[in-house]
Amino acid sequence: MSDVRDEGGQDGFAAELWSAGAATYDAIVAHPFLTGLSDGTLPREAFAAFVAQDSHYLQAYARALALTAARATDPAAVRMFSAHAANAIAVEQDLHARLLAELGLSSADVAATPVGPTTLAYTSYLLAVCATGTYAEAVAAVLPCYWVYRDVGRTLLERSSPDPVYATWIATYASPEFDAVVEAVVATADALGPSTGPAERARCRTHFATTTRYEWMFWDAAWTGLTWPV
Ligand SMILES: Cc1ncc(CO)c(N)n1
């Protein structure tokens, strides 16, 4: 699988953040869940587990983006993150409704699926940083959710998938529309660099590294069928 990741501006704050998650990104694209998506060998049960947890995730992610919007002072950023919060709910309802129908699941099945340990850990971390951190910290925490999916979408699109359900999912994140969304957030992160001091930048790198790790763990949880041990 060739490496088509896009690290944004050369020396900007976004590129500094990306460096904190780059090794984890390499592990993500090599994960059997993702190689299985593009070669079609991923068991449908693992994908269904992912989509069910992603429905729970997107509801919390929308709230994290709304918190990020509330902390922004630049009107363009308030508008952008608010729109993305609304869109996360729309994706939850539209993309997932289509995927679930093809997987033979209903939204009631998903609602009845308990929020898994990794989903709860990831969403709790996102909501905590976005509620109690600075604006730059909130942006750094949510950035991998956009960036990793865009780069994963691009990488997987090179081979797409023999499975039409997986191909639908890949095409969503590899689309020019999603790319434009991600580029706007990367530019927003870059714009924050000059006004962010060294201690805050270090916290931002930690958040970016942590949520990138949670992205790996999210796919891994669906792959291994992780549930609560007791
Ligand atoms: C877990 C996860 N991270 C990021 C995205 C992209 O919005 C998603 N749908 N799910």
Reduced 3-state DSSP string for 135-175 = HHHHHHHHHHHHHHHHHHHHHHHCCCCCCHHHHHHHHHHCC
Which pLDDT value is given to residue 38?
94
Q: Is 145 in the pocket of ligand 1 (CB under 6 A)?
A: yes
- The CB of 50 under 6 Å from ligand 1? The reply is no
Q: How many CB atoms lie within 10 A of CB 195?
A: 10
At 96 the pLDDT is 84
81 lines ligand 1 (CB under 6 A): no
Residue 13 exposed, middle or buried by CB count within 10 Å (0-12, 13-18, 19+): buried
User: Residue 187: is its pLDDT beyond 80?
Assistant: yes
Q: How far is the CA of 61 from the centre of ligand 1 (A)?
A: 8
For the chain, what are the domain ranges? Answer: 13-224
| Superfamily of 13-224 according to CATH | Heme oxygenase-like (1.20.910.10)
User: With 80 as the cut, is the pLDDT of residue 64 above it?
Assistant: yes
10: confidence class by pLDDT, cuts 50, 70, 90: low
Give me the torsion for CA of 102, 106, 112, 116, rounded to 10°.
20
Cα(185)–Cα(108) distance, rounded to whole angstroms? 33
* Lowest mean pLDDT segment, chosen from 95-99, 100-104, 191-195, 206-210: 95-99
In this predicted structure, what is the pLDDT of residue 147? Answer: 96
Say how many Å lie between the CA of residue 142 and the centre of ligand 1: 10
Which pLDDT value is given to residue 1?
38
Is 64 within 8 Å of 142 (Cβ atoms)? yes
pLDDT tens by residue, 156-181: 998 889 999 999 999 999 999 999 99
Phi, psi of 9 (to 5 degrees): -60, 155
- What pLDDT score does 219 carry? 98
**How distant is the alpha carbon of residue 109 from its chain centre?**
23
Active site residue ranges: 145, 215
Among 34, 54, 126, which residue has the most ligand 1 atoms within 8 Å of its CB, making it the best to mutate? 54
Tell me how far the alpha carbon of residue 145 lies from the centroid of ligand 1, in angstroms. 5
Ligand 1 centroid from CA 191, angstroms: 24
What is the reported pLDDT for 6?
55
Helices (H), 1-73: 13-30, 32-39, 44-71
Q: Is 216 in the pocket of ligand 1 (CB under 6 A)?
A: no
Given a contact cutoff of 8 angstroms between Cβ atoms, the answer to whether 13 and 189 are in contact is: yes
pLDDT value, residue 2: 39
Q: Is 218 in the pocket of ligand 1 (CB under 6 A)?
A: yes
**From the CB of 166, is ligand 1 less than 6 Å away?**
no
- The mean pLDDT of 184-195, rounded to a whole number, is 96
- Residue 92's nearest CA partner among 119, 66, 56, 123 is 56
Nearest Cα neighbor of 81 from 179, 181, 206 is 181
pLDDT at 210 over 80: yes
Task: Indicate the range of 93-102, 114-123, 134-143 predicted with least confidence.
Answer: 93-102
